[in-house]
Every structure is written in structure tokens, then in C-alpha cells.
């Protein structure tokens, strides 16, 4: 997957694949080599697999450039907006049913934004899956190959009961390109739990502007 990230993912989707974090590049690990000698290796020495002396066979990857079909008509979410929850008052919420929330954008139209679902409190011993849609007016939310699908919160069960809190960020820039949001200053976010019963609490949902990409040191 690391090699696919570096060489095969479209550059226009991820323009800067350079790792800029010195903390990451300078992290050190100790290994025994093939001669049973203890060696010290930095993470930055391992980011190019070809320098390590191996490569992978090139095969077709149809999913690399796949994008869901665009939403050809503007979603009629005005009716849903009237029954949707208020983002200022609904949270925290125990997600045991489908929830729709109207969330304000940072800018009107197709801005460079991300959806942040924060303070997600999970029971790590349970299977959890929550699909996230933006401006989806369909009652049937089983299909994921469509413009409104933004991403998924997922967890496989771990042994032993433990409660943990995390957040997830879903980039909306490409999603906006596939739908008509030119005049919108809010979007309708739909959270669809696929698991049975309780197990996840959502602390909040917001849209933030994406930071500019880091400048290349070269």
C-alpha cells in the first residue's frame, strides 16, 4: 500500500506525497540483520522500497482512478432540512439510528473543505460501522457508489472491553466536484449506523477549511 501511495495514486488528488515530518523520518528502530548483527534503522531510510532492494509487480488497478458517478441534478434537500437536527443542539448523540444534521460550510459553493466528526466515543469490544453521506436525499442509503458518499467510520472488535475517544476527518473537495453545491452555505450530513444497538456516541460534527499544502523545501 505504501508503494501504491507513492507511485500509483493520482497526483492531482494528492499533489504532495512527500513526508515532511522530521519526527517521523528520524524515528529509530533496532533490528537484527541477516548476519545476526544489531543495526539501527531510521524510518526515513525505508520510505523508498527500491532503495531497499525490492519492488512489486505492476498490475492493473481499476480502483485507483474510479470515481462515483456525478450527481446530475441538484439534491432537493430543502424538505429534509426541515426535519434534520440542529448541529448546535443535537450533540452529543448516541448513534443507534439514522441521523441527519444541517451543517454550515466555511464558504459558499465548492470550497476546499473537510467534514470533521469529533469526539467519537467507542466500545472497542464491539463491531461498529457508520456510513457518512452529504446532501443525499435518498431514503435508500445502502448504495455507496454515488456522489453523496463521503466515507465510513469503522471498527473491528478487540478483545476486552475498553472505551476510547477519537475523531475522523473526511475531505469534501472531490465530493463537491461531483454535485451542485454552488449556491449552498450549508450541507445535509447523514450518519447511517450499520451495526446493531448502541456502541458509539458522536460528540460533534463540523466543516473546516483545509489548510494549504506545505511548501516544498526544494
pLDDT tens-digit profile, the chain (218 residues) = 777 777 777 666 666 677 888 898 999 999 998 899 999 989 988 888 777 787 788 787 777 777 777 776 565 565 566 678 888 889 999 988 889 999 999 988 788 899 999 999 988 888 889 999 998 866 667 777 788 889 998 888 888 778 889 999 999 888 888 887 777 888 899 999 887 766 789 999 999 998 876 665 54
pLDDT at 79: 57
Q: Which of 180, 126, 181, 135 is nearest to 153 (CA)?
A: 126
Distance in angstroms (rounded) separating the CA atoms of residues 166 and 134: 21
The full set of domain ranges for the chain reads: 1-66, 78-209
DSSP string, 115-143: EEEEEEEEETTS-EEEEEEES---S----
pLDDT at 132: 93
- Which superfamily, per CATH, for 78-209? Galactose-binding domain-like (2.60.120.260)
The H or E element spanning position 39 is strand 38-42
| Preceding peptide of 84 cis, ω within 30° | no
pLDDT at 1: 76
Overall size of the chain counted in residues:
218
Distance in angstroms (rounded) separating the CA atoms of residues 103 and 185: 9
pLDDT at 76: 58
Amino acid at each position: 500500500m505504501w508503494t501504491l501511495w507513492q507511485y500509483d495514486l493520482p497526483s492531482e488528488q494528492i499533489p504532495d506525497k512527500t513526508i515532511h515530518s522530521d519526527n517521523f523520518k528520524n524515528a529509530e528502530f533496532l533490528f537484527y540483520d541477516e548476519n545476526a548483527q544489531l543495526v539501527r534503522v531510521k524510518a526515513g531510510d525505508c520510505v523508498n522500497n527500491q532503495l531497499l532492494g525490492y519492488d512489486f509487480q505492476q498490475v492493473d488497478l481499476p480502483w485507483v482512478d474510479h470515481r462515483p458517478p456525478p450527481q446530475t441534478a441538484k439534491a432537493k434537500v430543502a424538505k429534509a432540512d426541515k426535519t434534520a437536527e440542529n448541529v448546535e443542539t443535537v450533540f452529543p448523540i448516541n448513534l443507534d439510528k439514522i441521523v441527519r444534521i444541517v451543517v454550515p460550510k466555511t464558504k459558499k459553493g465548492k470550497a476546499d473543505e473537510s467534514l470533521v466528526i469529533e469526539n467519537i466515543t467507542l466500545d472497542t469490544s464491539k463491531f461498529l460501522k457508520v456510513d457518512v453521506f452529504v446532501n443525499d436525499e435518498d431514503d435508500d442509503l445502502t448504495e455507496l457508489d454515488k456522489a453523496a458518499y463521503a466515507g465510513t467510520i469503522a471498527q473491528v472488535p478487540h478483545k476486552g472491553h475498553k472505551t476510547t475517544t477519537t475523531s475522523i476527518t473526511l475531505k469534501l473537495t472531490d465530493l463537491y466536484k461531483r454535485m451542485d453545491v454552488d449556491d449552498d452555505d450549508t450541507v445535509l450530513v447523514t450518519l447511517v449506523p450499520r451495526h446493531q444497538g448502541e456502541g458509539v456516541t458522536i460528540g460533534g460534527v463540523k466543516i473546516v477549511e483545509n489548510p494549504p499544502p506545505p511548501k516544498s523545501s526544494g
